[in-house]
Amino acid sequence: MEDDLGSARFKKFRRRSLDHDRFIFITLGLLQHFELSYLYPFQGLSVVIISLLAAAILREKLTPRLFIGAALISAGVVLVSLS
């Protein structure tokens, strides 16, 4: 029987934690060079970009629900960027 620290579930959790930490440090580094008003739209649109890449690369099916969600996210990003 494998111990808890070596289990596949813990390894997956640890990897995701490290990925999240990298994302935070990259964001903090970018904030030192760019204003938040320039970076925020890219973070908001990441959901849309990831969905399009998943459809192109992984052949994921784009549903009407996904299009509506992406449109709402895009509209929100535009509204926040204009203020």
Burial classification of residue 54, based on how many CB atoms lie within 10 Å of its CB (0-12 exposed, 13-18 middle, 19 or more buried): middle
pLDDT at res. 64: 92
Mean pLDDT by 10 residues, the chain (83 residues): 67 86 89 83 81 90 90 85 76
Span 70-80, pLDDT tens digits: 889 888 888 87
Domains of the chain: which residue ranges?
Answer: 1-33, 35-83
